Amino acid sequence: MNGMTRTLPRPAPRTRAPWRAFEARHARRIDSEMREGRSPRCPCCGDPLQAQPGTRMSRYLPLDASGYDLECRGCRRFRCIVRHTLRSLRLVRMRRLVAAVRAAGEPLRQGRETEAAA
């Protein structure tokens, strides 16, 4: 290559960190501030949290539930606040019941299969 060094292209630097949810202990602190009637502040940097009309978690919300995010732009962290309706609470309870029945039914099937094999 005639003494010329070849440089590989560098990947583009990340301009912004991704948004992350607050840790559980920080979320509890935000929730307690809201219950006390105070404006919630970021537990990490102390800036006031800004409410956004939608939520990043909307695809995971049950039917009829709505939500909004409290976010800290400096830390790029958010807290999803979910507002349930009677219908969405019923749906969540039914999903939990189905999961519990499935979990409880698995050992019974395995136990019956081993008894039949013996």
Q: Chain centroid to CA 11: how far?
A: 29
Q: Please name the residues in contact with 25: beta carbons below 8 A apart, sequence gap of 6 or more.
A: 43
Residue 50, strand partner residues: 71
Confidence class of residue 22 from pLDDT cuts 50, 70 and 90? very high
**Cα 113 from Cα 72, distance rounded (Å):** 54
The mean pLDDT value for 25-38 works out to: 94
The pLDDT tens digits for 1-17 are: 555 666 767 666 666 77
The mean pLDDT value for 25-46 works out to: 93
pLDDT of residue 24: 94
